Amino acid sequence: MPLSAHRRTLILSTAALMAASLAFAGCAKHRSARAAKMARARAKYAVPHHVNVTTSDAGDQTGSPAEHPLYLDVPAQAGVAKASAEMASAANAFLASLDENQRKAATFPFDDKERVHWNFVPIERKGLPLKEMKPQQRELATALLKTGLSAQGLTKSDSIRGLENILKEIEKGSGPVRDPERYFFTIFGKPEAAGTWGWRFEGHHQAFNFTLVDGKQIIATPNFLGTNPHEVRSGAMKGTRVLGAEEDQGRKLVDSLSDEQKKKAIFTADAPKEIVTGNSRQAQIEGNAGIAYAELKPEQQQMLVGLIELYAHRLRDELAADDLAQIKAAGLEKVHFAWAGSLEKEKGHYYRLQGPTFLVEYDNTQNNANHVHTVWRAATGKDFGEDVLKDHYQGAKDDKDHGHEAAK
């Protein structure tokens, strides 16, 4: 019988501590057997067929597509209607479980400016936090999150929440409030399978925004994941790198470049101190720095596609396939890979992937290059579905029963 979402989360967040306590009492053989058991459990409950997960006694987890390319030949929007229906059903089940005050905190009109106000730092937020939910409500909230994320994405989300406890130990009350339950669910508009509405899951180092239009399109940007520490270097979770694959696969690509290729790919010796687009409403980076897909060798092109897929597959397969199909349709030859900063490990570095339809940023410069920020954005003017919504509203402006006004 499958574990409940709540219990699975507890297993993921406490596995490392359990492993450490057993380490003092057991031998190496016992620890090795237990690590294998943990790996089997995670594979059973958290890993889709296309993801490899490696674990250690310290609880390290990294995931990446097993083969490349996997989804670049899937037709655009395949399965999006199914995802829309599942999101609406899960959102309505969650809302039905709330009392009046909880519902008031969790819901906003679709056209409220709060829908496009997003952040990834530890601040006060609008919405209903996990901390204020009953166990059944948490399970329903997690069920909603599962309709947007892949198993790989959900595991990373759970693990990043768990890092709040590590920060709490490190800072000993000197920093912001650190709490793995201070993550918020917010619904915008009325969830309907064929409707136009949105929802968000957000907290420190996480932001997943979903905009659904007529049940036919789902725009899942901006989506952000970050880690602090990037690598846990002491204590029971020593060695944990939740976003390790994002660094390793990017580094593998840049290290494979020839000296001439590096002259094109490395656009500055100084890495930016933060992702360039920050928490802006729309992503704007002028030009295409770096080296183009067409300028890479076949094996390097494969690495680039694999890196794109790693980020795309934070989302459920249908949404990842839709994003990847759009990238292919716009032309892989137009995708660029750019690097900034040091090529040495544990020194500040940054990279971006950029094409006509998307932008990925990775930055690791803060806290002595042990603090990662990553984001997937749509092309300028497309985050939060703004371009799609303009067409949607314009087409419906004469429909008095539609319930929306034309975009201004």
CA 148, CA 116: separation in Å to the nearest integer?
A: 18
3-state SS class at 308: helix
Q: Is the backbone of residue 381 left (phi > 0), alpha (psi -120 to 50) or beta?
A: left
The residue length of the chain stands at: 408
CA 49, CA 228: separation in Å to the nearest integer?
A: 29
| Six-digit token string for 174 | 């000197």
CA 228, CA 371: separation in Å to the nearest integer?
A: 5
Q: Which residue, 80, 79, 39, is CA-closest to 63?
A: 39
Each residue of 378-400: pLDDT tens digit? Answer: 987 899 998 788 766 666 655 65
pLDDT over 70 percentage in the chain: 76
Structure-model confidence comparison of residues 20 and 215, the more confident one:
215
Q: Which residue, 320, 45, 71, is CA-closest to 155?
A: 45
Element (H, E) at 226: strand 223-227
Average pLDDT on 85-114 reads 98
pLDDT at 386: 83
Q: Which residue, 331, 323, 325, is CA-closest to 293?
A: 331
3-state SS class at 178: coil
Average pLDDT on 262-284 reads 94
**Is the four-CA dihedral 210, 211, 217, 223 of positive or negative sign?**
negative
Q: Strand pairing partners for 123? A: none
107-108 and 184-188 strand pairing: parallel
Peptide bond into 229 cis (omega under 30): yes
Give the CA distances from residue 328 to residues 216, 235, 395, in Å, rounded to whole numbers and listed in that order.
20, 44, 28
pLDDT at 16: 36
Peptide bond into 69 cis (omega under 30): yes
Q: Which residue, 107, 92, 79, 81, is CA-closest to 200?
A: 107
Residues contacting residue 129 through CB under 8 Å, at least 6 positions apart = 181, 182, 183, 184, 203
Question: Residue 22: is its pLDDT beyond 90?
Answer: no
Residues contacting residue 89 through CB under 8 Å, at least 6 positions apart = 193
Q: What are phi and psi of 44, to 5 degrees?
A: -70, -40
Question: Residue 195: is its pLDDT beyond 90?
Answer: yes
**Is the four-CA dihedral 284, 288, 289, 293 of positive or negative sign?**
positive
Radius of gyration of the chain (CA): 21
Question: Residue 278: is its pLDDT beyond 60?
Answer: yes
Lowest mean pLDDT among 66-80, 189-203, 237-251: 66-80
Q: Where are the domains of the chain?
A: 244-381
Question: Residue 49: is its pLDDT beyond 60?
Answer: no
